Amino acid sequence: MIAAEGLSARVGEFELRDVSFVVPEGKYGVVIGAAGSGKTTLLETIAGIIPMKGGVLKLGGRDMKGVPSEQRNAGIVYQHGFLFPHLSVAENVRYGALDFTFADAIAKRIGASELYAREVRGLSGGERQLVAIARALAPRPKVLLLDEPFSALDPRRRTLVRREVRRVARELGITVLQVTHDFTEAGLLGDVAILIDAGRVLQSGPPERLFREPASPYIAEFLGAENVYAGEVRYLDDALPDFADDARELLARGHRAIEFLAGGLRLYTVGDAPAGQGHAVIRAEEVLISAAAQESSARNQFKGVVSEIATTGALTRVTVEISSGGGKSAPIVAALTTRSAQELVLREGSEVWASFKAMAVHLC
Amino acid sequence: MGDGRGFSEALAGALIAASLGSMRQAHRAASVIAALCGSIFLLFLVAPIARLIGAGGADGLRHLFTDAELRSALALTALTATSATALAILGGTPLAYLLERRRFRGRALLAAVIDLPLLIPHPVAGIALLLVLGRRSLVGGTLLDLGIRVVGSPIGIVCAMLFVSAPLYVSATREAFARVDVRYEAVARSLGDPAWRAFRRVTLPLSSRGLIAAGVVVWARAVSEFGAIVILTYNPKVASVLSYDRFTSYGLDEALPVAAVLAILAFVPLFLLRTLRASRGAAAFVQ
């Protein structure tokens, strides 16, 4: 387990402040944040490389105050590997291992043993990362700290290694904390996601909750939510719209029907957000595009004109401009499979319907 | 009108061409002046040594077989310079590591204090050492009571050599440590190495060439030291003091072979340094 409570540390002018989060025993935590937000500093503080200035840090339930790096049983893998250039690849892998057979077996699983005959200086960035991961796992650490460890691997290798590291970590009961810029990776790997900015934790929790229920519009935009609207929250206690079943459940539990007015857009949802000014977030994956109006439970439906189509492989992002009267319009971005987009025969200028369920609207 | 425009365009073209031509000429002149200055400077550095070796080199090498005092001075020089280098390594390495890797209050002041012997004239350094290690000083007197004579003994020579050359060692060693990214040590420690073992297994091997080069620089500086030694220990004579003694007692002809041998011996550390630098360049620790 990695448990930080009010953790602070200082490196030059940069300060890590009041950092609190928990990654339960054997679980996989991901740290997300912009460059320079303090992600690596956080890992180095946990590893004992940077001294703590305040707060409490517990690894496996043990207080780490005054515990030197070598006694923390926490392996660290840097983005650039930092393989020891005066040693062979095998010597690197076995550096901290007590059991060389186990170290070699780990290297084989990660794909580093096939590099044993190579010179460290001749390895590519991705190969260095493989060896560095095997080296960190070889001493059977209780905690594994990974600083963008898959960034230099090709996509196919990345998927394989990512899966294998997760599997090894589960088998050995290792608690992992990984820094990543990749939201997909965060979603795929993480049991816990920690969003950090300017040395502070903005939000932490299950990745899905972070993505679906960001605590602020900044977090929503940082996490790639395309549809973030500023507006006004109003309660609809008198005239309840025709909500779907999941929304009705929430209503039954004391939540309230809400009308959110953002420019010309009128969104309906259910929640416990306070009335007044706020933000509505709708992830592009939640938005449906159709040629005709939906007759389903989607309460929020808007007719608009396609203004942009951007295809990136299997996914296509479609921007629909919703006319809100008076010459104003509001964009809604939808993410759909490229195949669906092709089936809809979408063109810029096409008239379409954009719809999403009331529960897809998150207020913050 | 048309002719007038053609004329002005031709005139502008000619002016541009002329100014470009004069710029090229100015560049060429600057290059020639720079090359001339560099050549004169190089000649100034090389000519005295070449002349010295040319005039006394062969004679000096012959003296190595016939001149017992020269052989003894050279042996004493090698022994004391090696001892001073060993002491510089022993005391200077941890100090350099501390200054390079740790951040503490007074670090800049400590670094400046270590550099101080480089800035004071060497006879002044000798006088300062005499005040601390002389017979009438607390340290020198105590050591003498214990049967250890500093002034007028090889120990005094080692002290003088160490005092003037140690700052060079600390500075070069700091640079060698700075070239080894601190994250190598961080990884080693995360793999279970205590600080000293991470230093031995990672930092030391990665900085070894730089440390050896620093040792060679210190040794060369110690061999060439004169000013501080002559104040602390005139006798027994090291090679530099012997060449001075021959010059003042017997004149240039007698001093020449000794001086030439010292100049020839200076090529040994020079060769070592060049070799180390070449291998370091080939094996840069680039991630």
pLDDT digits (tens, 9 = 90+) for A13-63: 999 999 999 999 999 999 998 888 999 999 999 999 999 999 999 999 999
pLDDT on residue B282: 43
For B113, the token pair is 């204090």
Nearest CA in chain B to A129: B287
ipTM over 0.95: no
Q: Under an 8 A CB cutoff, do B190 and A75 touch?
A: yes
How many domains does chain A divide into?
2
Q: Tell me: do A207 and A271 sit in the same domain.
A: no
Last-in-domain residue among A212, A240, A269: A212
Q: Tell me: do A143 and A269 sit in the same domain.
A: no
Residue environment code for A88-99, b if the CB has 16+ CB neighbours within 10 A, otherwise e:
bbbebbbbbbee
- Alpha-carbon distance B96 to nearest alpha carbon in chain A (angstroms): 20
Residue A183 has pLDDT above 80, yes or no: no
Residue environment code for A148-163, b if the CB has 16+ CB neighbours within 10 A, otherwise e:
bbbbbbeeebbeebbe
Q: Tell me: do A68 and A152 sit in the same domain.
A: yes
- Alpha-carbon distance A50 to nearest alpha carbon in chain B (angstroms): 10
Convert the pLDDT of each residue in A54-73 to its tens digit: 999 999 999 999 999 999 99
Mean pLDDT of A166-174: 95
Q: Under an 8 A CB cutoff, do B191 and A68 touch?
A: no
Last-in-domain residue among A168, A188, A212: A212
Mean pLDDT of A162-182: 92
* Cβ atoms A262, A215 nearer than 8 A: no
Q: Tell me: do A171 and A311 sit in the same domain.
A: no
- Which residues does chain B have with pLDDT short of 70? 1-8, 279-287
Least confident window among A112-126, A270-284, B220-234: A270-284
**Per-domain boundaries in chain B:** 1-66, 68-282
A262 lies in some domain = yes
pLDDT on residue B26: 86
Residue environment code for B176-186, b if the CB has 16+ CB neighbours within 10 A, otherwise e:
bbeebeebbbb
Q: Under an 8 A CB cutoff, do A68 and B189 touch?
A: yes
Mean pLDDT of A124-128: 95
A217 lies in some domain = no
Residue A107 has pLDDT above 50, yes or no: yes
Q: Under an 8 A CB cutoff, do B183 and A47 touch?
A: no
Residues of A within 8 A of B285 (CB-CB) are: 85
Q: Tell me: do A96 and A27 sit in the same domain.
A: yes
Identify which of B181, B186, B206 has the shortest CB distance to residue A76.
B186
Whether the bond into B236 is cis, omega within 30 of 0: yes
How far apart CA B268 and CA B81 sit, in angstroms, is 14
Last-in-domain residue among A171, A194, A212: A212
**pLDDT tier for residue A275 given thresholds of 50, 70 and 90:** confident
Residues of A within 8 A of B192 (CB-CB) are: 70, 96, 139
Residues of B within 8 A of A40 (CB-CB) are: none
Residue A10, Ramachandran bin (φ over 0: left; ψ between -120 and 50: alpha; else beta): beta
A175 lies in some domain = yes
- Alpha-carbon distance B213 to nearest alpha carbon in chain A (angstroms): 18
Judged by a CB distance cut-off of 8 A, whether residue B41 touches chain A is: no
Substitution target in A11, A76, A77, A86 with the highest count of B β-carbons within 10 Å is A86
Q: Tell me: do A272 and A202 sit in the same domain.
A: no
Residues of B within 8 A of A121 (CB-CB) are: 283
pLDDT on residue A143: 97
Q: Tell me: do A31 and A148 sit in the same domain.
A: yes
pLDDT on residue A246: 64
Q: Tell me: do A124 and A176 sit in the same domain.
A: yes
Q: Tell me: do A132 and A57 sit in the same domain.
A: yes
Which fold, B68-282?
MetI-like fold (1.10.3720)
Residues of B within 8 A of A119 (CB-CB) are: none
Convert the pLDDT of each residue in A315-352 to its tens digit: 999 999 998 766 678 899 999 999 998 999 989 999 99
Judged by a CB distance cut-off of 8 A, whether residue B189 touches chain A is: yes
pLDDT on residue B2: 46
Q: Under an 8 A CB cutoff, do A70 and B194 touch?
A: yes
Interfacial B residues in 200-239 facing A (CB < 8 Å): 202, 205-206
Residue A39, domain CATH: 3.40.50.300
Residues of A within 8 A of B199 (CB-CB) are: none
Residues of B within 8 A of A129 (CB-CB) are: none
A327 lies in some domain = yes
- Alpha-carbon distance B172 to nearest alpha carbon in chain A (angstroms): 21
Q: Tell me: do A195 and A335 sit in the same domain.
A: no
User: In degrees to the nearest 10, what's the CA dihedral of A86, A87, A89, A95?
Assistant: -130
Residues of B within 8 A of A48 (CB-CB) are: 189-190
Convert the pLDDT of each residue in A207-249 to its tens digit: 888 888 888 888 888 888 889 999 999 988 765 666 656 667 7
Note down the domain range covering A207: 2-212
For A113, the token pair is 């043993």
Q: Tell me: do A188 and A284 sit in the same domain.
A: no
Convert the pLDDT of each residue in B201-216 to its tens digit: 999 999 999 999 999 9
Residues of A within 8 A of B181 (CB-CB) are: 82
Q: What are residue A289's DSSP bridge partners?
A: A354
- Alpha-carbon distance A119 to nearest alpha carbon in chain B (angstroms): 12
Residue A297 has pLDDT above 70, yes or no: no
How far apart CA A268 and CA A216 sit, in angstroms, is 19
**How much of chain A exceeds pLDDT 70, in percent?**
95
> Sign (positive/negative) of CA torsion B66, B69, B70, B72?
positive
Identify which of A84, A128, A136 has the shortest CB distance to residue B184.
A84
Q: What are residue A179's DSSP bridge partners?
A: A31, A147
Q: Tell me: do A76 and A176 sit in the same domain.
A: yes
Count of A–B CB contacts within 8 Å? 65
How far apart CA A61 and CA B174 sit, in angstroms, is 40
